[in-house]
């Protein structure tokens, strides 16, 4: 089974490992950074800040594809030259054109970190925690023209625990993707998998956040919602506390409900990098380990 993998970060690393576990032949790895950086910038990036995925690529002597777009003629040539059976896509900004996702011999498969059809769209790690879900998941589905809507080949649940940030949820989800990737390859070697059509009536979609949502609002959010908000956004986006003309960056691991009374939004205690603030439900939240956001100074 010949495989090309497109992706970024932990998802890319785990898809590579999943393919290696299955014994598949990885004929190319296309890193997301190539979309953003030119060749010189990539050389500097890889020299000074080598990523775990690059280390893995070098360790196993995999082809690191130096291409600028997954919709380019160069990428088409790679698919034809390698005679790829499968393209796996995990964490990718481009929408693949039909002429690309129809090229592999078996399928082009996206790996989405939610239990589709729920939580279509960018960053379900963030959205599921922010909205108070107790479980998320990972779904391997066929790539179609409609994003995150193709037939499901396999999916697994991933629990969301109290205290989870997006970082912990991402780590558990991508590890689950590694194991499921190996299983899918083994199943495809035995024959075709009948995809399960997604029910659009059950679908939910959340677009990427806007900058205003990065500033906490203690007058409209309860203490539980504030804490979920901070944990959900980490490590993808900072969350800020506004204190007059100052902004503080929160630490998701240094928050607790504490004693104190006041009106929602009131800062009832200050001590260096510690604030205690009243939330909408009139509970006091203590924030320690705060850092000043110097842009506003």
Asked whether residue 234 falls in the same domain as residue 289, the answer is yes
pLDDT per residue of the chain (297 residues) written in tens, 0 to 9 = 999 999 999 999 999 999 999 999 999 999 999 999 998 999 998 999 899 999 999 999 999 999 999 999 999 999 999 999 999 999 999 999 999 999 999 999 999 999 999 999 999 999 999 999 999 999 999 999 999 999 999 999 999 999 999 999 999 999 999 999 999 999 999 999 999 999 999 999 999 999 999 999 999 999 999 999 999 999 999 999 999 888 999 999 999 999 999 999 999 999 988 999 999 999 999 999 999 987 544
Measured CA to CA, the distance from residue 140 to residue 153 in angstroms comes to: 6
Pure H helices in the chain: 9-22, 33-36, 39-48, 52-59, 73-82, 98-101, 124-130, 166-190, 223-233
Q: What pLDDT is attached to residue 295?
A: 59
Asked whether residue 53 falls in the same domain as residue 145, the answer is yes
Number of structural domains the chain divides into: 2
Asked whether residue 78 falls in the same domain as residue 163, the answer is yes
Domain CATH number, residue 267? 3.10.25.10
- Chain-centroid distance of CA 229 in Å reads 16
Asked whether residue 107 falls in the same domain as residue 129, the answer is yes
Q: What pLDDT is attached to residue 296?
A: 42
Residue that is last in its domain, among 202, 223, 244: 202
Residue that is last in its domain, among 174, 202, 230: 202
Q: Give me the domain span that covers residue 16.
A: 2-202
Asked whether residue 120 falls in the same domain as residue 54, the answer is yes
Q: What pLDDT is attached to residue 293?
A: 87
Asked whether residue 246 falls in the same domain as residue 124, the answer is no
Asked whether residue 102 falls in the same domain as residue 235, the answer is no
- Burial class for 37, CB neighbours closer than 10 Å (0-12, 13-18, 19+): middle
Q: What pLDDT is attached to residue 215?
A: 97
Q: What pLDDT is attached to residue 272?
A: 87
Asked whether residue 21 falls in the same domain as residue 73, the answer is yes
Residue that is last in its domain, among 167, 184, 202: 202
Residue 58, preceding bond cis, omega within 30 degrees?
no
Asked whether residue 220 falls in the same domain as residue 121, the answer is no
Asked whether residue 140 falls in the same domain as residue 228, the answer is no
Asked whether residue 119 falls in the same domain as residue 253, the answer is no
Domain CATH number, residue 9? 3.40.50.170
pTM score, whole prediction:
0.94
136, two tokens: 């998320």
Per-residue burial over 73-89, b = 16 or more CB atoms within 10 Å of its CB, e = otherwise: eebbebbeebebbbbbb
Alpha-carbon dihedral 80, 82, 87, 93, rounded to 10 degrees: -70
Q: What pLDDT is attached to residue 188?
A: 96
């Amino acid at each position: 089974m010949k495989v090309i993998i497109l992706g970024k970060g932990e998802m890319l690393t785990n898809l590579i490992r999943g393919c290696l576990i299955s014994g598949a032949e990885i004929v190319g790895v296309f890193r997301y950074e190539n979309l953003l950086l030119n060749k010189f910038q990539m050389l500097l990036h890889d020299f000074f800040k080598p990523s775990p995925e690059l280390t893995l690529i070098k360790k196993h002597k995999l082809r690191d594809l130096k291409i600028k777009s997954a919709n380019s003629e160069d990428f088409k040539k790679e698919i034809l030259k390698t005679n790829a059976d499968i393209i796996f896509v995990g964490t990718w900004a481009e929408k693949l054109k039909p002429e690309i996702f129809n090229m592999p011999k078996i399928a082009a498969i996206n790996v989405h970190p939610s239990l589709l059809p729920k939580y279509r769209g960018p960053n379900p790690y963030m959205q599921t925690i922010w909205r108070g879900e107790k479980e998320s998941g990972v779904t391997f589905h066929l790539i179609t023209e409609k994003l995150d809507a193709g037939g499901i080949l396999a999916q697994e649940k991933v629990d969301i625990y109290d205290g989870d940030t997006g970082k912990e949820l991402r780590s558990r989800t991508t590890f689950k993707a590694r194991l499921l990737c190996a299983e899918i390859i083994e199943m495809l070697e035995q024959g075709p998998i009948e995809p399960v059509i997604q029910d659009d009536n059950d679908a939910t979609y959340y677009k990427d956040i806007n900058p205003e949502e990065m500033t906490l609002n203690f007058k409209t959010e309860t203490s539980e919602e504030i804490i979920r908000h901070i944990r959900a956004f980490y490590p993808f986006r900072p969350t800020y506390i506004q204190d007059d003309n100052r902004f503080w960056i929160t630490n998701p691991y240094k928050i607790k409900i504490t004693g104190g009374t006041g009106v929602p939004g009131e800062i009832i205690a200050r001590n260096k990098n510690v604030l205690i603030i009243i939330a909408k439900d009139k509970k006091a939240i203590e924030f320690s380990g705060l850092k000043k956001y110097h842009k506003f100074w």
